[in-house]
């Protein structure tokens, strides 16, 4: 069973860093997808990506891509659901599993509830007893998408952000994480960033991972945001396990070549000179230094956390997962 080590999601220092985009739409799979799936696969392969997911709207696109890129089955849930009947009219959740049957069942039954409740059971059972539901919970990844997308000109939305603070808090314990950067929002209303909401949840004791993606719909969306997964095994299983366990960072350009924790000190190395910041509860900037290496202590109460961001000269950034206090 996969579990995030919230003291140090990156574990020991071995493994490859592999680049991937989990949020992609294609012409064959989504009404708003503009590029064919073969062209999309070629674009990401040539861009140095190792893995990709076609996360079509309420659809599992299973096509054979003519490319060495590794494909993670996925979809974007965008409909009302029994999970949040009062929240609507339409909410977007990225769902991924190496077992496409799990995603098909979800589509056929038009429900997210079974899938999500499985995770809640897992979280509540601290004894770690293995059951069918728990296994199910560990075989999918659920991500709350683009929290700060604003659809102000759509009369049925009547909302200033796709996910409000309250909605996120209600669902945070049911999902693996949330998008902290979503590239397509760069050309839509709202903000591609959701670091404010991530810090809000982390500061209230929710432990969830941050993801970055392109949310690719057309060629200009390519290469805006991605994840770098650290895995000792260059395989779909290895990548999925690292995503599930939080052994990855998010980027829009800058990179980390190393992320380590020793005792209560977190050390990062960047791939280029950057402004490196240590961020704590409610987004407070605790430390700041310029260069390619930084070491920051995790201080404060038991529920305190530290996450590190690196800001490049070109305005790009990279974000680690949070490291929680504890030994
Ligand atoms: Zn979406």
Q: How far apart are the first and last CA of the chain?
A: 22
> pTM (2 decimals)?
0.92
Written in H, E and C, the secondary structure of 98-141 is CCHHHHHHHHHCCCCHHHHHHHHHHHHCCCCCCCHHHHHHHCCE
* pLDDT score, position 207: 92
Ligand 1 mean position, distance from CA 226 (Å): 16
Kindly indicate the confidence band of residue 300, based on its pLDDT and cuts at 50, 70 and 90: confident
- Dist CA 301 CA 324 (whole Å): 10
Ligand 1 mean position, distance from CA 307 (Å): 26
CA nearest to 96, candidates 182, 10, 21, 202: 21
Give me the mean pLDDT over the 135-141 stretch. 71
Ligand 1 mean position, distance from CA 17 (Å): 27
Quote the mean pLDDT of the chain: 88
Ligand 1 mean position, distance from CA 57 (Å): 8
Ligand 1 mean position, distance from CA 76 (Å): 7
Buried b (16+ CB within 10 A) or exposed e, 295-318: ebebeeeeebbbbbbbbbeeebbb
Ligand 1 mean position, distance from CA 145 (Å): 6
173 touches 120 (CB < 8 A) = yes
**Half-sphere exposure of 125 toward its Cβ, with a 13 Å CA cutoff?**
17
Give me the mean pLDDT over the 166-178 stretch. 89
Range name among 44-58, 141-155, 272-286 with the lowest pLDDT average: 141-155
Ligand 1 mean position, distance from CA 149 (Å): 9
Ligand 1 mean position, distance from CA 146 (Å): 7
Match 């991937």 to its residue by tokens.
20
Kindly indicate the confidence band of residue 81, based on its pLDDT and cuts at 50, 70 and 90: low
- The dihedral region occupied by 151, where left means phi > 0, alpha psi between -120 and 50, and beta the remainder, is beta
* pLDDT score, position 85: 60
Ligand 1 mean position, distance from CA 143 (Å): 11
Backbone angles phi, psi at 20, to 5 degrees: -155, 160
Kindly indicate the confidence band of residue 315, based on its pLDDT and cuts at 50, 70 and 90: very high
Which segment, 3-17, 27-41, 131-145, 289-303, is predicted with the most confidence on average? Answer: 27-41
Give me the mean pLDDT over the 99-108 stretch. 88
Distances (CA, A) of 9 to 5, 191, 260, 277: 5, 27, 9, 18
* Structural domains in the chain, sorted by start: 16-251 (3.20.20.140), 253-327 (2.60.40)
- Dist CA 187 CA 184 (whole Å): 6
Q: Which residues contact 114 (CB under 8 A, 6 or more apart)?
A: 105, 106, 136
* pLDDT score, position 272: 96
Kindly indicate the confidence band of residue 267, based on its pLDDT and cuts at 50, 70 and 90: very high
Distances (CA, A) of 222 to 39, 45, 261: 12, 12, 33
Ligand 1 mean position, distance from CA 69 (Å): 23
Give the pLDDT confidence of 251-264 residue by residue, as tens digits.
999 999 999 999 99
Range name among 51-60, 150-159, 309-318 with the lowest pLDDT average: 150-159
93 touches 77 (CB < 8 A) = yes
Give me the mean pLDDT over the 289-297 stretch. 98
3-state helix, strand, coil in the chain (%, to 5): 25, 30, 45
Ligand 1 mean position, distance from CA 120 (Å): 24
Ligand 1 mean position, distance from CA 95 (Å): 11
Which segment, 16-20, 98-102, 131-135, is predicted with the most confidence on average? Answer: 16-20
Ligand 1 mean position, distance from CA 190 (Å): 13
Ligand 1 mean position, distance from CA 161 (Å): 12
- The dihedral region occupied by 133, where left means phi > 0, alpha psi between -120 and 50, and beta the remainder, is alpha
81 touches 55 (CB < 8 A) = no
Ligand 1 mean position, distance from CA 150 (Å): 11
Ligand 1 mean position, distance from CA 78 (Å): 7
Ligand 1 mean position, distance from CA 92 (Å): 5
């Amino acid at each position: 069973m996969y579990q995030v080590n919230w003291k140090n999601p990156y574990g020991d220092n071995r493994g490859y860093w592999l680049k991937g985009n989990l949020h992609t739409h294609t012409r064959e799979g989504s009404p708003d997808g503009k590029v064919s799936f073969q062209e999309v696969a070629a674009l990401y392969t040539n861009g140095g990506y190792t893995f990709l997911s076609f996360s079509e709207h309420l659809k599992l696109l299973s096509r054979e891509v003519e490319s060495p890129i590794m494909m993670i089955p996925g979809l974007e849930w965008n409909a009302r659901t029994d999970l949040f009947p009062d929240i609507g009219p339409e909410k977007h959740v990225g769902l991924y599993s190496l077992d496409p049957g799990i995603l098909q069942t979800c589509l056929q039954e038009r429900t997210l509830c079974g899938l999500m409740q499985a995770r809640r059971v897992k979280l509540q059972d601290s004894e770690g007893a293995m059951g069918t539901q728990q296994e199910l919970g560990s075989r999918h990844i659920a991500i709350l998408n683009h929290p700060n997308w604003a659809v102000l000109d759509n009369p049925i939305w009547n909302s200033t952000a796709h996910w409000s603070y309250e909605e996120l808090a209600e669902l945070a314990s049911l999902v693996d994480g949330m998008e902290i950067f979503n590239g397509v929002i760069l050309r839509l209303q709202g903000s591609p960033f959701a670091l404010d909401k991530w810090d809000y949840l982390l500061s209230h004791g929710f432990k969830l991972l941050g993801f970055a993606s392109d949310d690719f719909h057309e060629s200009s969306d390519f290469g805006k945001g991605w994840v770098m997964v650290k895995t000792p095994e260059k395989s779909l299983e290895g990548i999925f396990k690292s995503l599930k366990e939080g052994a990855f960072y998010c980027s829009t350009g800058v990179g980390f070549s190393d992320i380590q924790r020793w005792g209560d000190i977190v050390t990062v190395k960047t791939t280029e000179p950057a402004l490196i910041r240590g961020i704590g509860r409610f987004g407070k900037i605790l430390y700041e230094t310029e260069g390619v290496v930084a070491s920051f202590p995790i201080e404060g109460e038991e529920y305190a956390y530290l996450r590190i961001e690196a800001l490049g000269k070109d305005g790009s950034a990279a974000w680690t997962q949070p490291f929680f206090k504890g030994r």
